[in-house]
Amino acid sequence: MEYALWITLLVAFIVVEASTASLVCIWFAIGALAAAVAKLVGVSFFWQIAVFVIVSAIAVGLTKPLVNKLRAKGKTATNADMVIGKTGIVTEEITNDKFAGKVKVAGQEWSAIAADGGEIPKNSKIRVLKIEGVKLIVEIVKFASVTEA
């Protein structure tokens, strides 16, 4: 009976892990496997639970920092982030009363607002300072050529 419990938990944790995009419960699957092995060796149910908890905790302790480090390394800028610092051109006037205008940057059209809250006329050259939501925050560029529009 106990052996079936640990195998069922092992399979359930693996299924949950396989259905998620990140490590959620693989550590508990390892703990359930260790508890099933403990049952095979003849350990009492109380000690099987202890093995499950201890092995799961050790697995979390050993792998969680490594997983977090690998996740941090794998972060890359999105396509949207890549427009920050690029120059473009205003295709629809940016005004305070509309709270947005349109700009073309890196071949794509975006909604944009002026960083200083002012107005930027159509065909002005701009530089992207940052992104807030789906809008670019831009500033006008004087005496610069637009190379990315």
Give 10-residue mean pLDDT values along the chain (149 residues). 90 89 83 95 95 94 77 62 89 81 90 89 94 88 59
Question: Does pTM surpass 0.85?
Answer: no
Can you give the pLDDT at residue 104?
94
Can you give the pLDDT at residue 17?
87
Q: Is 32 left (phi over 0), alpha (psi -120 to 50) or beta?
A: alpha
Kindly list the structural domains of the chain, giving each domain's residue range(s) and its CATH number in brackets, ordered by start.
2-73 (no CATH), 81-140 (2.40.50.140)
Tokens describing residue 95: 């005004």
123-144 burial, b at 16+ Cβ within 10 Å, e below that, comes to: ebbbbbeebeeebbebebeeee
Residues forming a β-bridge with 126:
88, 140
Can you give the pLDDT at residue 18?
87
Can you give the pLDDT at residue 55?
95
Can you give the pLDDT at residue 143?
65
DSSP string, 93-129: -B-TTTT-EEEEETTEEEEEEETTS--B-TT-EEEEE
Identify which of 13, 23, 15, 27 has the alpha carbon closest to the alpha carbon of residue 67: 23
